[in-house]
Amino acid sequence: MTKCTLRKHALLTIFPALTCISFSPIVQDSVDLQPYSLRIEDDEPDGADTTLYIALDTCVLYPAYAIYGSSWSHDEVNPYKASPESMSGAVAISLAGYTHPNQNVITSRFGARRWKFHYGIDLRLSVGDSVRCAFNGRVRIARRGKAYGNYVVVRHYNGLETTYAHLSKILVKVNDEVKSGDLVGWGGNTGRSTGPHLHYEMRYLGQALDPMTLVDFATGKPCADSFLLTAACFAYVRELEQMRYWVVRSGDSLWTISQKTGVSIDYLCKANHIPRNRALRLGQRIRYH
């Protein structure tokens, strides 16, 4: 029987619930979980046989089963109650077989925008352009959403999930098996979008990663054969949690907000990318921490 092995340390790293068992801080094992039977190796010194086999069928039905279990939502991009930002080890994600979804120029990068966070990368395209799947996997979501428009989420065997949004047409169905390079849809301008583009996300356990740390967008090739994923990749999550916003009410100005929050006007201008004389709108969110 073909087997894919995964050291117990790696399993403990990716199943945070098993924190009662200690594991090494750095794990180099790959979790490129191709649809083979998965054998969890026991490296306990007492020699007890705790080897766990996961059936071939299960690995095919739920790609990266060892990471996600049977969680398989068809409408939530992040249904997981996971906090990879607090993981204490590292996981090597294989980037073998990657296909760039669309070889066009970047129009917006991953990261903080003025008052919200951009969880993906935007690539300019024309309506009807091909959008291709990044790795082998299975379609978890294929639907229309308010913000994403027509979008597709694919779970891959390497543990990543990718999202393709604002499509004019979806060409796959939920539970479809897809190969790297397969068409998932046509590029479009649906949902909260101000012009034709592809919004492209890469996530691990529901939390977004900066795709530019994994892929060279100039060439459309992976930066390396594998990517070592650690809590540092999700440092922005903690920063977002600590951000504080003031919602502008009648009579507010940068001066009154400064007085009420105890933060200087210079800081408010810098944090919000606005000049000192900018008129504020009612309901506008002003970051003050």
The contact set with Zn ion (CB under 5 A) reads 120, 122, 199
Q: Minimum distance between the CB of residue 78 and Zn ion, rounded to whole angstroms?
A: 16
Q: Whole-angstrom Cα distance, residue 251 to residue 169?
A: 46
| 255 residue type, one letter | W
Q: Minimum distance between the CB of residue 13 and Zn ion, rounded to whole angstroms?
A: 30
* Between 93 and 198, CB nearer to Zn ion: 198
Phi first, then psi: give them for residue 72, nearest 5 degrees.
-150, 60
* Between 146 and 173, CB nearer to Zn ion: 146
* Between 138 and 197, CB nearer to Zn ion: 197
User: Which residue's beta carbon is nearest to the bound Zn ion?
Assistant: 199
* Between 97 and 191, CB nearer to Zn ion: 191
Q: Minimum distance between the CB of residue 202 and Zn ion, rounded to whole angstroms?
A: 13
Q: Whole-angstrom Cα distance, residue 147 to residue 190?
A: 8
* Between 8 and 166, CB nearer to Zn ion: 166
Q: Minimum distance between the CB of residue 120 and Zn ion, rounded to whole angstroms?
A: 5
Q: Minimum distance between the CB of residue 118 and Zn ion, rounded to whole angstroms?
A: 6
Phi first, then psi: give them for residue 153, nearest 5 degrees.
-120, 130
Q: DSSP characters for 133-196?
A: -SSSEEEEEEEEETTTEEEEEEEETTSEEEEEEEESEE---TT-EE-TT-EEEE----SS-SSS
Exposure of 262 by Cβ count < 10 A (0-12 exposed, 13-18 middle, 19+ buried)? exposed
Distances from the Cα of 241 to the Cαs of 12, 94, 138, 208, 289, in angstroms? Answer: 26, 30, 32, 15, 10
Q: Minimum distance between the CB of residue 166 and Zn ion, rounded to whole angstroms?
A: 8
* Between 120 and 222, CB nearer to Zn ion: 120
- Two tokens at 50? 């705790």
Q: Whole-angstrom Cα distance, residue 94 to residue 106?
A: 24
